Amino acid sequence: MQAQPPNPSLAPSLAASNLACRRGDRLLFRKLSFTLGEGDALHITGANGTGKTTLMRALAGFTTPFAGEVSREGELGLLDERPALDPDLPLGKALGFWNAVDGGGDPSQVYGKLGLSNLLEVPVRYLSTGQRKRAGLAALMGRSVPIWLLDEPLSGLDTAAIETVTRLIEGHVKGGGLALIASHQRLEIEGLQTLELGDYVPARAVEEEE
């Protein structure tokens, strides 16, 4: 059976139903359900090792959950600590690849906002941690996908960049997109909902941690 192509006329949505994920033989979380639609932003919190990255990857379809289902309407993009940018290409060319693939509009405004305009000739491998993170977001924005999965999008960013990226996320959801943000940092985003992943950790796993 052929997969149905996404229907851009439908509003984006992302839902998890009774989701459980494990790593090795350890059940990280279970009975996790939520539904997000156009304009929703959800902050996923949880101590180190709770399973936030695992959850993001399961939602993105990169790993199969142990139980439950993920359903979505609309394309998604995942920003994690490994931005999909060729390390050997100059940043501008590496970002241009994504723009060409997904047919985004003129990216120069985004580069300016994210402070990347002067770095476009620099090979990706020479970028600092914060610059790389900003480049990853620029790549995501170039793709014009409605669903953003952001794994620690603010880590390694300076104060000004934290503010910029926060406003870009807010702008994305206000424009009808939706965003899930796994972060240890406080997020100042209007209407933000919060999901504490620790609430879904099975009791035995909590005892093992103690």
Ligand X SMILES: Nc1ncnc2c1ncn2[C@@H]1O[C@H](COP(=O)(O)OP(=O)(O)OP(=O)(O)O)[C@@H](O)[C@H]1O
Q: Which residues bind ligand X (CB under 6 A)?
A: 23-24, 28, 46, 48-54
* 150: phi then psi, degrees, rounded to nearest 5: -115, 115
Q: Which is nearer to ligand X, 59 or 116 (CB)?
A: 59
N-to-C CA span, the chain: 47
Q: How far is the CB of 72 from ligand X (least distance, A)?
A: 20
Q: How far is the CB of 138 from ligand X (least distance, A)?
A: 23
Q: Which is nearer to ligand X, 26 or 174 (CB)?
A: 26
Distance CA 174, CA 65 (A): 30
DSSP 89: S
Q: Which is nearer to ligand X, 2 or 48 (CB)?
A: 48
Q: How far is the CB of 21 from ligand X (least distance, A)?
A: 8
Q: For residue 133, what are its two tokens? A: 């993170």
Q: How far is the CB of 183 from ligand X (least distance, A)?
A: 9
Strand positions, DSSP E, the chain: 13-23, 26-37, 41-45, 67-73, 76-79, 147-151, 178-182, 193-196
Q: How far is the CB of 146 from ligand X (least distance, A)?
A: 24
DSSP 8: T
- DSSP-derived 3-state class of residue 206: helix
Q: Which is nearer to ligand X, 51 or 136 (CB)?
A: 51
* 39: phi then psi, degrees, rounded to nearest 5: 85, 5
Q: For residue 156, what are its two tokens? A: 């390694």
Element (H, E) at 57: helix 52-60
**Count of Cβ atoms closer than 10 Å to residue 13 Cβ:** 17
Q: Which is nearer to ligand X, 26 or 125 (CB)?
A: 26
DSSP 203: H
Q: How far is the CB of 200 from ligand X (least distance, A)?
A: 12
